[in-house]
């Protein structure tokens, strides 16, 4: 009788423990969630994080507190997230640089140290020239660049940045070769192009569109395989030159991450909430209005997107001769 009594007590305790675990898992989130942006206020990563946060909050029922911790191409913010408990209450909103940090010697950590919640949006890179140049079309630019290697002057911002990788895509796939004058950041590079000190700048669309609309710069093409609907008069490079299509789309992308070790039920909650937020028509329109492109991938689809992007971009960076490590060392396959 005593054994039956003890066994009953044990069974009851087990059920209680299971119940406690069940309630705890399903209670997430029980408090505000900190979202660390590894870049300064006002940039593409910050804009995207703050733009989608209210829609995710609506799904989760808790505030998302967005905090900027910039530095080292987003790596300092990532290290801060990794230093916290993997419980879903400290997340990272990062950009494409998360895939290249160890390649460039920035930090040993990268996207493989995180669980991908979602890739929300991107901004395609562009070819934008000063109006005084003779390049009226993308074909004008490509033909001249092939026939006159090094004569087109490009405003760059250093190795493994948007401009250098965009230029590498044109050189590798189409044989276009430019000479680069480096400036301290994209703002300075755009300013130099506006002043006619160089011929071309290859930066993300959202940073150039106002100058294009004002006639101060001429955008000749976007690094995409299809036309961007917000600038339908500008051709997609991949459509005009299919040889470049395997490297495209290229540009900055922005996504939400949790550190490895975050419980699966928490990850599911975050992915479901973010997927619903990204499906919101109002949010998608706000992305288009700011000249970004909604991607809306979550979970495995988002991870596969990053894997493909990393494979293509890492080998371009390596071929430029600026990588600190070979992609092979990081088990990054060739595209």
- How does pLDDT run across 148-199, given as a tens digit for each residue? 999 999 999 888 889 999 999 999 999 999 999 999 888 899 999 999 999 9
Which CATH architecture fits 33-123+251-330? 3-Layer(aba) Sandwich (3.40)
Place of tokens 């209680």: 16
pLDDT value of position 13: 46
Q: How many CA atoms within 13 Å lie on the side-chain side of 67?
A: 17
Task: Please state the domain extents for the chain.
Answer: 33-123+251-330, 126-247
Buried b (16+ CB within 10 A) or exposed e, 122-161: bbbbbbbbbeebebeebeebbebbeeeeeebbbbbbeebb
Work out the burial of residue 61: count CB atoms within 10 Å of its CB; fewer than 13 is exposed, 13-18 middle, 19 or more buried.
exposed
Q: Does domain 126-247 have CATH number 1.10.3720.10?
A: no
The β-bridge partners of 182 are: 156
With residues binned 3-state (H G I as helix, E B as strand, rest as coil), the percentages for the chain, rounded to 5, are: 50, 20, 30
126-247 has the same fold as 33-123+251-330? yes
pLDDT value of position 322: 86
Low-confidence ranges of the chain (pLDDT < 50): 1-25
Distance CA 36, CA 101 (A): 17
Distance CA 264, CA 304 (A): 19
Tallying the residues shown for the chain, one arrives at 335
Measured in whole angstroms, how far is the alpha carbon of residue 183 from the centre of its chain? 22
Q: Enter the tokens of residue 207.
A: 């940073």
Between β-strands 251-259 and 114-124, what pairing exists: parallel, antiparallel or unpaired? antiparallel
> What are the two backbone dihedrals, phi and then psi, of residue 296, each rounded to the nearest 5 degrees?
70, 40
pLDDT value of position 295: 94
- Name every residue whose Cβ is closer than 8 Å to that of residue 150 and which is 6 or more positions away in sequence: 177, 178, 179
The answer to whether the CB of 227 falls within 8 A of the CB of 65 is no
> What are the two backbone dihedrals, phi and then psi, of residue 146, each rounded to the nearest 5 degrees?
-75, -40
Q: Which of 190, 165, 191 is nearest to 178 (CA)?
A: 165
Q: How far apart are the first and last CA of the chain?
A: 69
pLDDT value of position 9: 45
Work out the burial of residue 100: count CB atoms within 10 Å of its CB; fewer than 13 is exposed, 13-18 middle, 19 or more buried.
buried
Distance CA 193, CA 247 (A): 25
CA distances from 129 to 220, 223, 322 (A): 7, 15, 26
Q: Enter the tokens of residue 19.
A: 């119940």
3-state SS, residue 29:
coil
């Amino acid at each position: 009788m005593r054994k039956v009594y003890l066994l009953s007590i044990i069974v009851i305790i087990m059920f209680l423990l299971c119940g406690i675990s069940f309630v705890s898992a399903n209670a997430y989130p029980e408090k505000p969630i900190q979202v660390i942006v590894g870049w300064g206020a006002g940039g593409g990563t910050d804009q995207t994080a703050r733009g989608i946060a209210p829609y995710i909050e609506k799904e989760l029922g808790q505030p998302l507190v967005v905090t900027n911790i910039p530095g080292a191409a987003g790596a300092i913010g990532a290290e801060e997230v990794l230093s916290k408990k993997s419980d879903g209450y400290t997340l990272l909103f990062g950009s494409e640089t998360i895939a290249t940090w160890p390649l460039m010697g920035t930090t040993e950590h990268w996207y493989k140290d995180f669980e991908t919640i979602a890739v929300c949006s991107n901004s395609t890179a562009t070819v934008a020239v000063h109006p005084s140049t003779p390049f009226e079309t993308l074909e004008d630019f490509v033909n001249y660049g092939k026939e006159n290697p090094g004569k087109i002057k490009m405003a760059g911002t250093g190795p493994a940045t948007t401009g250098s990788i965009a230029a590498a895509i044109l050189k590798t796939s189409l044989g276009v070769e430019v000479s680069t004058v480096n400036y301290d950041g994209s703002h300075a590079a755009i300013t130099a192009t506006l002043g006619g000190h160089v011929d071309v700048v290859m930066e993300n669309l959202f940073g150039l569109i106002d100058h294009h609309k004002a006639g101060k710069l001429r955008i000749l093409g976007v690094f995409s395989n299809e036309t961007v609907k917000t600038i339908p008069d500008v051709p997609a490079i991949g459509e005009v030159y299919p040889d470049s299509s395997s490297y495209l789309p290229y540009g900055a992308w922005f996504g939400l991450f949790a550190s490895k070790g975050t419980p699966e039920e928490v990850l599911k909650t975050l992915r479901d909430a973010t997927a619903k937020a990204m499906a919101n028509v109002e949010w998608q329109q706000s992305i288009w209005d700011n000249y970004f492109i909604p991607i809306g991938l979550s979970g495995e689809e988002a991870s596969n997107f990053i894997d493909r992007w990393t494979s293509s971009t890492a080998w371009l960076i390596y071929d430029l001769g600026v990588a600190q490590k070979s992609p092979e060392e990081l088990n990054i396959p060739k595209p």
